[in-house]
Chain A
């Protein structure tokens, strides 16, 4: 039997397909495992770069990212199950808080850096998996992220994050940031991510801090520290607000 006849038989087709798939599978597995370390290093460097951008250190590439990150980020702080990066930019201490959220088509994530007093935003970085190009994808552009710079996180209530995103042109308060025109759902996703994301760090942002009329942490009783009602005859509130705020 010659090849042209043989190759149309079912046995030949099945063997041909099987052998082909096995060869391809081994080839791909080999290449994937060979390149994995380099790819992981790239992903790590990209994460570092995103953190640096949230600290308004943009335009870094390659090795420069690693060097700058090592120079700027001084420590990491464990907050519940999350990690906060402590950084020192031009002598001032900043904290970088990672946040996650959901956009219209897929995940959103970002880094929000706050000043040492934990009351104002220093810088932000947002990114997305698959938002619409030209609309939702614009949350990745600097003009959108820079709107947050210097904005207060809280208004009156130091336990409730007020910073959010609203429809373009409707921002009234200092804590309301303009969204992206034509990308309402993505903007809502960013609003949720920022507000709820920061809210989940409330213990870090407000705790141990002379916020409002609460006593400094070291003066509070054990029950107050745990966030429960205080025992009879004692108070978690400070004697006078002005006294605490001066601290």
Chain B
């Protein structure tokens, strides 16, 4: 990896969005994906938070990678991630209080998100800051993409709303349509994530 071309950088960025998606292919970060996706807004904020944290922790670790002692590298990575998570959580509390209440402990739990540690260990420790940044943004968005899909399905069928606005017209309810209470439960998001992975794998198989 001595010389990096833009096509390779593009690959670094686009790969985690589809072919190597952290949730659909690597099946990482499932815990938070199940917990925060009952509505679209928290799902998007969570996706963006993870994207920001992955990108910046990747950059910081990549900048420090030649100075980090091998024996305490995991600790250094954790401290960087924990600091960024705390900062993001404080910012959410100050500027989008409702969403931070909805996300509750899951912002703090980003620290233990496998995607983060995975990218730091596997990518940022070996690559330059710019590539690491792209890799972080790519993986974060790959994660966010699945969260948004699941959040969209769950909010639409569970509450009949999108972003809190009613989209299923009243007349449907008058004809006997009911919101699916199952959709609001975490178990349902596991099933939806399963369906997304199924669809994703059968599409990618055809391409091969």
Q: Which residues of A contact B (CB under 8 A)?
A: 3, 7-8, 12-13, 16-17, 20-21, 24, 27-28, 31-32, 35, 38-39, 42-43, 45-46, 61, 133-134
Cα separation A17 to B83 with both chains bound (whole Å): 14
Closest to B87 in A: A31
Do residues B186 and A28 form an inter-chain contact, with CB atoms below 8 A?
no
Do residues B94 and A17 form an inter-chain contact, with CB atoms below 8 A?
no
Do residues B87 and A16 form an inter-chain contact, with CB atoms below 8 A?
no
Closest to A127 in B: B101
CB distance from B39 to the nearest CB of A (A): 13
Cα separation A27 to B80 with both chains bound (whole Å): 11
Q: Which residues of B contact A21 (CB under 8 A)?
A: 79
Interface residues of B, dominant DSSP: helix
Q: Which residues of B contact A35 (CB under 8 A)?
A: 90-91, 93-94
Do residues B86 and A13 form an inter-chain contact, with CB atoms below 8 A?
no
Q: Which residues of B contact A42 (CB under 8 A)?
A: 93-94, 97
Given A13-B69, A13-B71, A17-B76, 9 other A-B contacts at CB below 8 A?
A3-B66, A7-B70, A13-B72, A16-B72, A28-B87, A35-B90, A35-B93, A38-B94, A134-B184
Contact of A134 among B95, B97, B186 (CB under 8 A): B186
Q: Which residues of B contact A45 (CB under 8 A)?
A: 97
Sample 7 A-B pairs with CB under 8 A, ordered by A number: A8-B70, A16-B69, A20-B79, A28-B86, A43-B97, A133-B185, A134-B185
Interface residues of A, dominant DSSP: helix
Cα separation A61 to B96 with both chains bound (whole Å): 12
Do residues A39 and B67 form an inter-chain contact, with CB atoms below 8 A?
no
Cα separation A16 to B66 with both chains bound (whole Å): 13
Q: Which residues of B contact A (CB under 8 A)?
A: 66-72, 75-76, 79-80, 83, 86-87, 90-91, 93-95, 97-98, 101, 184-186
Closest to A45 in B: B97
Q: Which residues of A contact B186 (CB under 8 A)?
A: 133-134
Cα separation A21 to B93 with both chains bound (whole Å): 24
Closest to B35 in A: A133
Q: Which residues of A contact B67 (CB under 8 A)?
A: 3, 7, 16
CB distance from A39 to the nearest CB of B (A): 5
Task: Specify which of A3, A24, A43 lies most central, judged by the most chain B CB atoms within 10 Å of its CB.
Answer: A24
Do residues B93 and A7 form an inter-chain contact, with CB atoms below 8 A?
no
Task: Pick the 6 closest A-B CB pairs, nearest first.
Answer: A42-B97, A38-B94, A35-B94, A13-B69, A24-B83, A7-B69
Do residues B83 and A28 form an inter-chain contact, with CB atoms below 8 A?
yes
